[in-house]
Structure 1
Amino acid sequence: MRYVDEFRDPDAARRVADAIAATVTRAWTIMEICGGQTHAIVRYGIDRMLPGMLSLVHGPGCPVCVTPPGIIDAACAIASRPEVTLCTFGDMLRVPGHEQSLLAARTGGADVRMVYSPLDAVELARENPEREVVFLAIGFETTAPTSAMAVLQAERKGLANFSLLSSHVLVPPAMRQLLGDPTNRVQGFLAAGHVCAVAGYRDYHAIARQFRIPIVVTGFEPLDILQGILLCVRQLEENRADVENQYRRAVRHDGNRTARAAVGQVFEVQGQAWRGMGRIEDSGLALRSRFARFDAFKRFPEVRVPTERQTPCISGEVLRGVRKPDECPMFGKLCTPEHPLGATMVSSEGACAAYYRYRRAPEAA
């Protein structure tokens, strides 16, 4: 297959769905990791094509959604300083912290700007040497390479007014955390294809062996997802726990070595807090000591990241696959994209946003 339309062929999709139905003999629960996969599943009704005994649950694969509210609070505190210009991706502007969002901070006078790349923030720092330009860096292994390149460029250009507020996270430690949780009901994973395109899937073999769970690297189109489900179900039915690559057209076992090398040069692994999941050891990326002068946490040491508080929002349970968005009593009522209570309703990859867009009852639409 060469074109996107081929991966959206309804007849081909039905054939794969029929193959899944013919394979399943008992109840299984599979989690898709990526928010992009969640949106495709809900948009195209993939879960409704499957046999009733096969359940899909949604995982912590939305980078905006897993950014803890304390990081938003820290970013707002930094942005409130008169000499600071804070840059980040557009999805982050409306994500609620404990006190406010970056959009609210901007409304209050903070210089908060949306950029398409951390390299845009580097250029802004070069053009405005009198400003402290801070980039709020979020995302999985997919976006970490561009953050690493931004730091390397800032070093190369000799910029003294650029820093990174890093909230990058890694997927495999989160998978381990989910599987070790007493509430876990996941029996198979569809791994995020774009993450594996950068990082590869070498680290997934140990997870599959330790937890006896199949992991299938999967793409984002309807046929990708259905094929990934079929491969996963076959493993479950055959009592196998292997790592397979459905997304062979984009993913290699070792990923993108150049991107991985840049990340390894700039960052080191540390523990990291995830929204709704608590602190996960070895799941975050912090700047190495060589690049400490570009670390916003060190440049603004008075800024603290508060611990996450309890809220009525169930986004943490949604991110762990324990509950689904439409099981929340506030979904579509008190919590909407215009007035979100949690990050899963804000982000374009959030599970709650997907259900709101594609699964609302007609009277609520």
Structure 2
Amino acid sequence: MKFASEFRDPALARALLSAIADKADALGASRAKPLHIMEICGGHTHSIFRYGLDKLVHEGIEFIHGPGCPVCVLPMARVDECVEIAERPGVIFTTFGDAMRVPGHRKSLMQAKAGGADVRMVYSPLDALELARRNPEREVVFFGLGFETTTPSTALSVQQAAREGLRNFSVFCNHITVPEPIKALLDDPDMVLDGFIGPGHVSMVIGVHPYDFIARDYGKPIVVAGFEPTDLLQSILMILTQVAEGRAAVENQYGRVVPEHGNPVSLAAIDDVYEKRPSFEWRGLGEIDASGLRIRPKYRAFDAEEKFGIGYARTRAPVPEIAGCECGKVMVGKLKPTQCPQFGKGCSPEMPLGALMVSSEGACAAYWQYGSRVAAE
């Protein structure tokens, strides 16, 4: 398949693996003192396990699984608030499919639907807009969830709703940004990281310069990477080369997709519709300053938090994690999924305790799907 098979070429993969091994040996990497490389994106985590890269790369390289995906890092309180909105009379609550089964403290959206709430899976916020047009007597709420990758589509939908005057459409905004949690991880004295594989899809929107602080302020290399096996292997080699040369820079392996300065149309829509929240809660990381987005006052009519008096529009008590669930520690790279006492026992794809087993980009789902179920050493 053109534009895919060339990035899965076995000969190229073997050459890259050999070069990685040579570089790791020269750096003195070993199982006793491995090089820790964090892949920030859950799509990368799944590619690593799908293609067996965790077993193929030099034994002195250890992948640390980072925040992964917005479903993974969403705190239980926000899931509870989704359910609260969905169960209100006259509401059609719309969401992407991977958020349907994420457990809240009370229930998931799927369970709310089974109990009679009108919860519908959509593929785009434009589907929610169409529902609002067809159901003018009902409130249609879109669960705006995602990193910078999905933020533009929600922003453009809000702009379209404003142009049409669709006052029965609103967004429960849970859009979050990538650079701030990376800084929180780097500020954690318990984290030992030698480099980062940067998220390709996020960078397609924001470009590469929002990561400059990683190299400039923390002296860590970061390489924005594609999602095919040779993309990831080349990115690892680029990171090792920077370490070997004693330098730290932001490099773009995914140049065929990621422009240096991002997508100007998307960035303009984001800037028009959203502003930074003072802080936002992340699973496993707590409140992180300026890491979330909220709808600007000029679009307040389309803000579900304001319309329903929910979320950060009201005071709320923290919601604790389910007892025994270690999603928070797995999400920040402090535990491997198989080190969670519930992995494969109390928590499985059929009966998940946490978001990382549910999400299509969750680390626990990757370990389960691709057979890495043996207890970590």
Code of the aligned partner of 2:158? V
TM superposition shift of 1:207: 2.3
Q: In the alignment, what sits opposite 1:287?
A: 295
Cα displacement string for residues 50-97 of structure 1 (whole angstroms, at most 9, x for unaligned residues): 111111111102121111111110010011111111000010000011
Q: Which residue of 1 aligns with 2:152?
A: 145
Say if 1:332 and 1:360, in contact at 8 Å, map to a contact too. Answer: no
Q: Deviations over 1:17-60 (max 9, x none)?
A: 11001011233100001111100101111011111111111110
Relative to structure 1, the CA distance from residue 267 to residue 361 in structure 2 (aligned partners, 3 Å threshold; closer, same or farther) is: closer
Q: Which residue of 2 aligns with 1:95?
A: 102
CA contact (8 A) 1:189 1:215 kept: yes
**Amino acid of the residue matched to residue 288 of structure 2?**
I
Alignment match, 1:275? 283
Tell me, in whole angstroms, the C-alpha distance in 2 between the residues paired with 1:359 and 1:345: 14
* Cα displacement (A) at 1:150: 0.9
Kept in 1, the 8 Å contact 2:39–2:197? The answer is yes
Show CA shifts across 1:107-127 (max 9, x none): 111010000001110111011
Preserved CA contact (<8 Å) 1:266 1:291: yes
For structure 1, list consecutive stretches of 5 or more residues without a partner in the other structure: none
Shift, 1:239, TM fit: 1.5
Indicate the residue corresponding to 1:3 in structure 2. Answer: 3
SS in 1 for 2:36: strand
Cα offsets for 1:293-332 (capped at 9, x unmatched): 1111100115655523143111111111111111112111
- Deviation digits for residues 136-180 of structure 1, max 9, x if unmatched? 111000000000011001101111101100111100001000100
- Corresponding position of 1:122: 129
Q: What residue in structure 1 maps to residue 218 of structure 2?
A: 211
Which residue identity is paired with 2:280? Q
- Partner of 1:317 in structure 2? 329
| Contact 1:224 1:246 (8 Å CA) reproduced | yes
Measured after TM superposition, the shift of residue 273 of structure 1 is: 0.9
The aligned counterpart of 2:342 is: 330
In structure 1, C-alpha distance between the alignment counterparts of 2:36 and 2:139, rounded to whole Å: 48
Structure 2 matches for 1:1-365, cutoff 5 A? 3-24=3-24, 25=27, 26=29, 27-270=34-277, 271-301=279-309, 306-311=317-322, 312-361=324-373
CA distance in 1, matches of 2:205, 2:47: 21
Write the letter of the residue equivalent to 2:22: A
Deviation, structure 1 residue 288: 0.5
Q: Provide the C-alpha distance between the structure 2 equivalents of 1:82 and 1:224, rounded to a whole number of angstroms.
A: 49
| 2:41–2:199 contact (8 Å) kept in structure 1 | yes
CA drift of 1:3 comes to: 1.9
Question: Would the aligned equivalents of 2:338 and 2:373 in 1 still touch at CA under 8 Å?
Answer: no
Post-superposition offset of 1:360: 4.6
Q: Distance in 2 between matches of 1:93 and 1:249?
A: 33
Contact 2:215 2:248 (C-alpha < 8 Å) held by counterparts: yes
Taking a change above 3 Å as real, the CA distance of residues 257 and 231 of structure 1, as seen in their structure-2 partners, is same
Task: Read off the aligned partner of 1:181 and give its amino acid letter.
Answer: D
RMSD, matched Cα: 1.4
SS at match of 2:291: strand
Q: Which amino acid in the other structure matches residue 309 of structure 1? A: P
Range that drifts further, 128-137 or 180-189:
180-189
The residue type paired with residue 289 of structure 1 is P
Whether contact under 8 Å (2:96, 2:124) holds in the other structure is yes
Q: CA, structure 1 residues 147+361, in 2 after alignment: closer, same or farther (shift >3 Å)?
A: closer
1:269 and 1:122 map into 2 onto residues whose CA distance is: 24
Q: How many residues align?
A: 362
> Helix, strand or coil for the counterpart of 1:39?
helix
**Aligned residues with identical type, % of pairs:** 52
The residue identity in structure 2 corresponding to 1:295 is D
Describe the superposition over 1:267-312 as per-residue Cα deviations: whole angstroms up to 9, x where unpaired: 0011211122111111111000101111111001156555231431
Q: Secondary structure of 1:33's partner?
A: strand
How many Å separate the matches in 1 of 2:86 and 2:175?
A: 19
For residues 186-232 of structure 1, give each alpha carbon's deviation from its aligned partner in whole angstroms, at most 9, with x where no partner exists. Answer: 22000001100011111111221111100100000000000010001
